[in-house]
Amino acid sequence: MSERPLTAMIDAAGPPDCAAYGRAGGWQGLRRALRDLTPEAVIAEVTDSRLRGRGGAGFGTGQKWSFVPRTPAGDQRKYLVANADEMEPGTFKDRILLEGNPLQLIEGMIVAGYAIQAGEGVIFLRGEYHLALDRLTRAIDEARAVGWLGRDIAGSGFDFDIHVHASGGRYICGEETALLTALEGSRAVPRSKPPFPQVGGLWGAPSVVNNVETLCNVPHILANGAAWFRALAIGPDGGTKLFGVSGRVKRPGAWELPMGTPLREIIEEHAGGMRDGYGLRALLPGGASTAFLDGGAIDIAMDYATVEKAGSRLGTGLAILLDDRTCPVGMLRNLEHFFAQESCGWCTPCRDGLPWVERLLDAIEEGRGEDGDLDLLAHHARMIGPMGRTFCAHAPGAIAPLSSGLNLFRAEFEAHLRLGRCPHRHAA
């Protein structure tokens, strides 16, 4: 049993075919689920494993599945959707899994489909992931040809098939209800809840949306047991995680490590530390929609509760580092530009508030800032940021780096206003 199950079969030679996947231990979790366990027992096993969603929210996977009505697959239409629309800035973990071992995702989806008694799975894939699309399509076709997809899988009487849908390419499609709306062929806007997707999702049918990395863990839990999965982690959460680092480090990338791995270890040992001549100023610990942490406070465990206690979120677990030679105001302007242009425009605080925030940051960074701009930015952060004021989490996520940045980089903001220019850009 590998201590790095997610990446154990990934190598430069390309993804395994069905036979090689089976020889390396694949299909064991699915065989056990279909042969020995009821759907309720599969849900109980995944719940006991403490697997939490790896897409950012961190909701308990087994608990999410348990909300689906307990009717047999043949009696009610249900859907299992893999969210592969990976557009969070600084995040590239799902791409590694999709390109490196798509059969792992397929097996995880079949198990999840059996657990919730869904007859159909859909992979909602980021449109720019062309290599992933090719490898997923090939893997699905082969799995269907050898009997792992389709009718009466492994003689179990359970029918399940998978289709790939390439996204049109909007960040908002990563929000699960906007993703479902896009799948139905409509403009990708979030839905009000309730009803939640588990009760009324795709085309009104009960649906579960799980992240790619989440589903890739499922076969290993079923093959090796919940206790084994819990033991892989350091601390309260179960399993391993694809952690990563981008920024001015010596070895940017992603690595499968135990949940709860110290942030300092990820940055200094796996990423090689900062490049020569650069110091660590601050970081976003889990993608662009998480709050900044001070660079001097990296002695924390990368698990959900610890990062939240430190004032941010684990998010996708891929950290974006800000060095001491890059302007934090310029970085925030870049982030808010992305979030403003990716708003779906459905609700006013997001549609109008984020472009206004971007314009204020433009003015400050370009030397056109005025007295009161920082107070106005803080006001927008208070009005837009709290959950519950918008249809989805897009605006609160966009405001997270701004709210924290206004506190952490106050001196830099004030220097821009005082000098009438960006001190980093014009330093000579």
Higher pLDDT, 67 or 423: 67
Q: What mean pLDDT is predicted for residues 409-428? A: 84
Same domain for 390 and 253: no
Q: 125: domain CATH number? A: 3.40.50.11540
Domain presence at residue 141: yes
Same domain for 226 and 269: no
Q: What mean pLDDT is predicted for residues 315-327? A: 96
Same domain for 314 and 411: no
Domain end (from 304, 323, 342) = 323
Domain presence at residue 5: no
Domain end (from 323, 356, 391) = 323
Domain presence at residue 257: yes
Query: What is d(CA 229, CA 52) in angstroms, rounded to the nearest whole number?
Result: 12
Q: What mean pLDDT is predicted for residues 217-243? A: 96
pLDDT value of residue 388: 72
Domain end (from 323, 340, 372) = 323
Same domain for 400 and 341: yes
Domain presence at residue 45: yes
Tell me the pLDDT tens digit for each residue of 233-258.
Answer: 998 999 999 999 999 999 999 999 99
pTM of the model: 0.94
pLDDT value of residue 346: 87
- Cβ-based neighbours of 247, under 8 Å, separated by 6 or more: 283, 319, 320, 321, 322, 323
Helices 373-384/410-419 angle, 10° precision: 140
Same domain for 110 and 79: yes
Tell me the pLDDT tens digit for each residue of 143-162.
Answer: 999 999 999 999 999 999 99
Helix (H) or strand (E) holding 95: helix 93-100
Same domain for 81 and 32: yes
CA distances 123 to 76, 127, 247, 271, 321, Å, are 21, 11, 30, 31, 31
Same domain for 204 and 109: yes
Q: What mean pLDDT is predicted for residues 337-343? A: 94
Tell me the pLDDT tens digit for each residue of 1-30.
Answer: 679 999 999 998 899 999 999 999 999 999
* Average predicted confidence (pLDDT) for the chain: 94
pLDDT value of residue 154: 92
Band the pLDDT of 416: cuts 50, 70, 90: very high
pLDDT value of residue 73: 77
pLDDT value of residue 426: 56
Higher pLDDT, 348 or 290: 290
For residue 269, give the DSSP letter.
I
Domain presence at residue 6: no
Same domain for 256 and 385: no
Identify whether 219 is preceded by a cis peptide bond (ω within 30 of 0).
Answer: no
Tell me the pLDDT tens digit for each residue of 24-49.
Answer: 999 999 999 999 999 999 999 999 99
Q: What mean pLDDT is predicted for residues 359-372? A: 93
Q: 351: domain CATH number? A: 1.20.1440.230
Band the pLDDT of 423: cuts 50, 70, 90: confident
Same domain for 284 and 268: yes
Q: What mean pLDDT is predicted for residues 41-58? A: 94
Same domain for 313 and 344: no
pLDDT value of residue 398: 93
Q: Is residue 194 scored above 80 in pLDDT?
A: yes
Same domain for 191 and 114: yes
User: How many domains in the chain?
Assistant: 3
Q: What mean pLDDT is predicted for residues 346-360? A: 92
Domain presence at residue 73: yes
Share of the chain above pLDDT 90, in %: 85
Domain presence at residue 175: yes
CA distances 46 to 65, 72, 106, 144, 219, Å, are 9, 19, 17, 25, 10
Domain presence at residue 87: yes
Band the pLDDT of 428: cuts 50, 70, 90: very low
- Domain limits for position 267: 242-323
Band the pLDDT of 220: cuts 50, 70, 90: very high
Band the pLDDT of 407: cuts 50, 70, 90: very high
For residue 150, give the DSSP letter.
B
Helix (H) or strand (E) holding 125: strand 120-125
pLDDT value of residue 192: 85
Same domain for 42 and 153: yes
Q: Is residue 327 scored above 60 in pLDDT?
A: yes
Q: Which long-range contacts does 267-276 make (Cβ < 8 Å, 24+ apart)?
A: 267/298, 267/319, 267/321, 270/243, 270/245, 271/245, 273/249, 274/248, 274/249, 274/250, 274/321, 274/323, 275/248, 275/249, 275/250
Q: What is the DSSP string of 27-86?
A: THHHHHHHHH--HHHHHHHHHHHT-B-TTSS--BHHHHHHTS----TTTS--EEEEEE--
pLDDT value of residue 20: 96
